[in-house]
Amino acid sequence: MGIEAFKKAYQFSFDDVVTMEPKLRYRAIQKGDINLVDAYSTDSELRQYKLKVLDDDQHVFFPPYQGAPLLRQETLTEFPEIETSLNKLAGQITDDEMREMNYEVNVKEKDAFQVAKAYLKKKKLLQ
């Protein structure tokens, strides 16, 4: 993995490679200081800065990403209905939907609870 694997898989080279903190890379691309970043397909900044997501069809950087809920066994023991509720979400949230929800929270500063609630209502998973 990494830049050398990218060059080999895609027969593409770069004159200069710069590493930086995730939040800084989006500012740098917005300012035109850099041309390409690695990103999660659900990052709100992709929508915020109108960036094009390129498909890594060679799986050079990461295998396909699937988010999953994690919780303590004690929580599941105390509230067993959580498992059924969470399982209803399996395979439901697309990258576009997650990116939009992240945008609503991170950029528009909407309450995460309200954004999630609206999504669940839209999908008829909550009344």
76 vs 74: CA distance, rounded Å: 5
Q: Name the domain boundary from 40, 65, 90.
A: 65
Say which CATH number the domain at 10 has.
3.40.190.120
Q: What is the mean pLDDT of residues 72-101?
A: 93
Contact partners, residue 116, CB within 8 Å, separation at least 6:
101
Give the domain extent around 94.
67-127
DSSP assignment of 81-122 equals: HHHHHHHTTTTT--HHHHHHHHHHHHTS---HHHHHHHHHHH
Region 79-98: mean pLDDT is 92
More confident residue, 12 or 84: 84
Same domain, 89 and 52: no
Identity at 74, one-letter amino acid code: E
Same domain, 23 and 36: yes
Q: What is the pLDDT of residue 110?
A: 98
Domain finish residue from 25, 49, 65? 65
DSSP state of 35: S
State the pTM of this model: 0.74
Residue tagged 């300012």 (tokens):
31
Domain count, the chain: 2
Residue 44 near residue 98 (C-beta atoms within 8 A): no
When pLDDT is averaged across residues 58-71 and rounded to a whole number, the result is 80
Final residue before a domain boundary, out of 65, 80, 100: 65
Question: Are 84 and 57 found together in one domain?
Answer: no
- CA dihedral sign, ordered 90, 93, 99, 100: negative
Q: Are 56 and 77 part of one and the same domain?
A: no
